[in-house]
Amino acid sequence: MKFTLKIWRQKNAEAKGAFVTYEIDDISPEMSFLEMLDALNKGLVEENKDPVAFDHDCREGICGSCGMYINGHPHGPVPAVTTCLLSMRHFRDGETITVEPWRAKPFPVIKDLMVDRSALDKIQTAGGFISVNTGSAPEANSILVKKHDADEAFNSGICIGCGACVAACKNASAMLFVSAKISQFALLPQGRIEAKERVRSMVEKMDDLGFGNCSNTGACEAECPKQIKLTNIARLKREFYKAL
């Protein structure tokens, strides 16, 4: 397969960026999007050119490192996959693919397609934890949890913090991320103890960092690679009102 790639190139946070067009050939349909970019970078390095910078780590859809805006979709056009698991067979041979970094005020571009997503870490450290003494793991059945609650907490807890929800939202809101982190604790007895402080701190931090507000467009849910549900946001609201 061959593609025309329009990729956002930007030397650093201060530099002015622009799209650069590359032609790439000999791409196997089985390749992932990141492997395609690896092939592009191999060619650029061989030509003594600066390779395209992009974030990646596990390349199996669980770390949340990779993420780029591909043809109008965070993580590309296939639902429920991260960029690293996006296969090139989902694109037409000869297609022009436009690749941009996440765009949000709290996600400044570091270089090319890499953005600083530490804003999400700052929200997490503001309250996304439970305070327990370290030591050996306690007996799993000493605190009983309803199966439904455990399942719901798990469904929220699988958020990988990739930032696709922010990237997809027309308001650059981090509400889905925060609501998933709030929900995973709010649904479990261990998390109830600090629930009020947690929701107040995390929401306050989210607002301070300059994320937009949720206007319930549903874009975050549609693009989340882990299919985190909007009902988490309603739960976040309930938790917030209870904490007032």
Partner 1 sequence: MALAGLFLLLFLPVHLAINFLLLKSDPDPFNRAAHFMATFPVVKIIEIVLFAALIIHFLSGIYLQIINWMARPVRYSVASRTETFFFSKFMIWTGAAVLTFLVIHFFNFYFIRLGLVEGNPEDFYSVAHDLFKIPEYNIIYLLCFILLGLHLFHAFSSAFQTLGLDNRIWKPVVDAVAWIYAIVIPAGFASISLILWLFR
Residues that bind partner 1 (CB under 8 A): 19, 69, 71-74, 77, 98, 100, 103-106, 168, 170-173, 210-219, 222-223, 229-231, 233-241
User: Which is closer to partner 1, CB of 106 or CB of 127?
Assistant: 106
Between 59 and 90, name the residue whose CB sits nearer to partner 1. Answer: 90
In 3D, which of 208, 214, 210 has the Cα closest to residue 233? 214
For CA atoms 78, 91, 50, 57, the dihedral sign is positive
Query: What is the nearest approach in angstroms of partner 1 to the Cβ of residue 41?
Result: 22
CA atoms within 13 A of residue 198's CA, in its CB half-sphere:
24
Element (H, E) at 22: strand 18-24
Decide whether 4 or 213 has the Cβ nearer to partner 1. Answer: 213
CB of 235 to partner 1, least distance (A): 7
Q: Which residues have C-beta within 8 Å of that of residue 49, sequence separation ≥ 6?
A: none
For the CB of residue 75, give the shortest distance to partner 1 in the complex, in Å: 11
CA dist 192 and 185 (Å) reads 7
Beta carbon nearer to partner 1, 147 or 170: 170
CB of 128 to partner 1, least distance (A): 19
Cα-flanking dihedrals φ and ψ of residue 73, to 5°? -130, 135
- Please say which residue, 160 or 168, places its beta carbon nearer to partner 1: 168
Cβ nearer to partner 1, comparing 59 with 71: 71
Q: Are the C-beta atoms of residues 99 and 17 closer than 8 Å to each other? A: no
Instruction: Give me the half-sphere count of Cα atoms (radius 13 Å) on the Cβ side of residue 18.
Output: 4
The closest alpha carbon to 161, from 231, 224, 102, belongs to 224
Query: Do 123 and 177 touch, CB atoms closer than 8 A?
Result: yes
Query: Rounded to the nearest whole angstrom, what is the least distance from the CB of residue 205 to partner 1 in the complex?
Result: 15
- CB-based burial, 109-145: b 16+ in 10 Å, e otherwise: bbbbbbbebebbeebbebbbeeeeeeeeeeeeeeeee
Smallest distance from partner 1 to CB 241, Å? 6
Pick between residue 13 and residue 45 the one whose CB is nearest to partner 1. 13
